[in-house]
Amino acid sequence: MSTTTTELMPVPAEPKGRLDLLKGKASLTRTLLMAAALFSLLSLTRVITGGDDLTSSQTAGITLLVTMPILLAGMAGLWAERVGIVNIGIEGMMIFGTWFGGWGAWKFGPWVGLLLAIVAGALGGLLHAFAVVKFNVNHVISGVAINLLAFGSMRYLSELVYTADIQGAGISQSPPQQAPIPRLNVPFLAGGEIFGWKSPDILGWFEEKGWFLISDVAGVLRGAFYNVSWATIIGLALVPLSAWVLWRTRFGLRVRSSGEAPAAAESLGVKVTPLRYYAMAISGAFAGFGGGFLAIVSSSYYRQGQTGSRGFIGLATTIFGNWRPFGVLFGALLFGFAEAMQLLSPDSLPKFCLFLAMVAGLMAIGSMVRRKLVPTINGIVAAALFLWVYIAVDKIPEPLTKATPYVLTLVVLAAASQRLRPPAHAGMPYRSGEDH
């Protein structure tokens, strides 16, 4: 009796880099499809309710304006935690940026003011790094101390600089800036001028038609291309630039390794200590930029309390965005849209609840198909609640509309908590050269 042995040829393994690339493309495709579906539901809501403010160019423009400080604060948190430091002091670094931005714009012009805001924020970031890296101070305690220091010291500087003989100044605000940062209307898309000739406003024409989806897309795009500040353009450009630096350069790889496993990175020759100072200077610069944006672009002067806890909301977008630049951008736009709605037209918030009811209903159906009982029940309850608000409430009280961004912060973080993976060593004590 003879036995024949058949030897199976091994299946060649897929190269790891190619697998990662395919996974990244699949994730991006899934995200884009989900965004398209949500926007289609928003457009349908606009058609059903007649709530043109939901996707108008005015709403999109205000959303972009109020998004920028939150986005820059979120990027500050991302750079800090990617290198292993929790930056609770973002709010304080933004306060530094508002004061020096407002003072610089008054004395020297808006661009110098914005530069001074960035430098002031970077110095605040270095101060935080000095405390947690050099003296191993608890990250949260150091951040809270910076917030308190910023509030007290900037008020004291106002007392010294803004004397009674300076018109428009006081202990709680600076004089108005010399001139605003220039704004751009993109020719043809948003009716911008070319050598004095006013070009057609193509997106505006489509928006006025009121067509399903097409007019909504045109309205949102026009809001991004009409009367947009150059500071906004620079801030948005920093998002893909940060993604490229962190994931495509040697410096970015070292930053991320310092936040994941600093001891292992140091064993391979990475100088973790100076790297943390560099990253925290970048983090503080982002926060200072956000503060300067509030004082120079969103307003025309520094005002005490101008940050309005945006540093903490920005830190929430860092978490919601899963410590990735484009995730932070999406989270900031979400919070910015909620704030823009209550600034522009509080009457539109009940109409927006119909959109939320549709989303919750679809989530409930998806959970039901996957036979997940608890998410199904939660989705049904949420859909019923939002639908009731849409039917029964004509206007949401002003105190509740002002609380919308903060309530949304809690809801989003609770919903996103299951898929988050922070840098492994963020916030943990580390001393270079010691045994760990």
Task: Identify residue 321 by its one-letter amino acid code.
Answer: G
pLDDT band, very low/low/confident/very high, at 40 (cuts 50, 70, 90)? very high
Q: 405: closest CA among 319, 329, 334, 322?
A: 334
Q: Which has more confidence, 34 or 13?
A: 34
- Which pLDDT value is given to residue 273? 94
Using DSSP's 3-state secondary structure scheme, residue 321 falls into coil
- Is residue 121 within 8 Å of residue 66, measured between CB atoms? no
Amino acid letter, 123? L
Residue 211, judged by CB atoms within 10 A of its CB (0-12, 13-18, 19+), counts as: middle
Please tell me the distance from the alpha carbon of residue 17 to that of residue 197, in angstroms, as a whole number: 51
Whether the per-residue pLDDT at 9 is higher than 50: the answer is no
Contacts of 216 (CB under 8 A, 6+ apart): 39, 42, 43, 46, 55
Token pair for residue 101? 């931005």
Mean pLDDT in residue range 199-227 = 93
pLDDT at position 434: 62
Assign residue 411 a region: left if phi > 0, alpha if psi is -120 to 50, beta otherwise? alpha
| Least confident range of 113-117, 231-235, 425-429 | 425-429
- Contact predicate 320/410, CB 8 Å: no
Mean pLDDT across the chain, nearest whole number?
87
Report the pLDDT value the prediction gives residue 432, as an integer from 0 to 100: 75
What does the alpha-carbon distance between residue 296 and residue 109 come to, in Å, rounded to a whole number?
10
Give the CATH number of domain 53-185+227-346. Answer: 1.10.3470
pLDDT tens for 415-430 read 655 567 889 888 888 8
In the DSSP assignment, the letter for residue 303 is B
Taking the C-alpha atoms of residue 370 and residue 382, their distance in angstroms, rounded to an integer, is 18
Burial of 330 (0-12, 13-18, 19+ CB in 10 A): middle
- Each domain of the chain, given as residue ranges in start order, spans 53-185+227-346
Is the pTM above the cut of 0.85?
yes
Task: Look at residue 169 in the predicted model and tell me its pLDDT.
Answer: 86
Task: Tell whether the torsion through CA atoms of 33, 37, 39 and 43 is positive or negative.
Answer: positive
pLDDT in tens, 46-60: 999 988 888 999 999
> Is the pLDDT reported for residue 3 higher than 60?
no
- Of 8-22, 96-110, 212-226, 244-258, which gets the smallest average pLDDT? 8-22
How would residue 363 be classed by pLDDT, with cut points 50, 70 and 90? confident
Q: Which of 3-17, 233-247, 282-296 is predicted least confidently?
A: 3-17
**Residue 375, class by beta-carbon neighbours within 10 Å (0-12 exposed, 13-18 middle, 19+ buried)?**
middle
Q: How confident is the model at residue 346 (pLDDT cuts 50, 70, 90)?
A: low
Q: Is 153 exposed, middle or buried (0-12, 13-18, 19+ CB in 10 A)?
A: middle
pLDDT range class, residue 25, cuts 50, 70, 90: low
Q: How far apart are CA 133 and CA 136, in angstroms?
A: 5
The CA-to-CA distance between both ends of the chain, in Å, stands at 62
Whose CA is closest to 427, among 106, 122, 81? 81
3-class state of residue 184 by DSSP = strand
C-alpha angle 146-332-405 in degrees, rounded to nearest 5? 80
Decide if pLDDT at 16 tops 60.
Answer: no
| Residue 126 scores a pLDDT above 80 | yes
What pLDDT score does 5 carry? 43
